[in-house]
Amino acid sequence: MTASESAVDAGPILQALGDATRRQIVEALGRGPLSVSALAKPFDMSLTAIVQHLRVLEDCGLVTTEKVGRVRTCQLRTAGLDALARWVDAQRPEWHRRIDRLADLLDSKDR
């Protein structure tokens, strides 16, 4: 892993996934590529709104789109999810240390 991979700025990815519609889009694309119109079907919003959500997901590196003729197809970029997973993994040891300290503190108060 390079230094740039370990120093992933997870902010844009987390911000993009902070929206429920975008999380649902990522989940749908996790099952395979879809056209924008097929992707928009289950949502009660305009195609323009779906495209705006897709733009946010593209900007943070989670989704790619490709236009062939009149059809724009969307696909999940697993590299974006891998980057987020690396960031979470890098945070995990500190979270465990803090939980362990809290457990020690609570145990000492019970004595």
Structural domains in the chain, CATH included, are 9-110 (1.10.10.10)
User: What average pLDDT score do residues 23-47 get?
Assistant: 95
Percent of the chain scored above 90 by pLDDT? Answer: 62
Quick one: which H or E segment has residue 66? strand 63-68
Pair of tokens at residue 15: 């911000």
Inter-axis angle of helices 20-29 and 47-59, nearest 10: 80
Residue 5 pLDDT: 43
- Note the pTM of the prediction, 2 decimals: 0.77
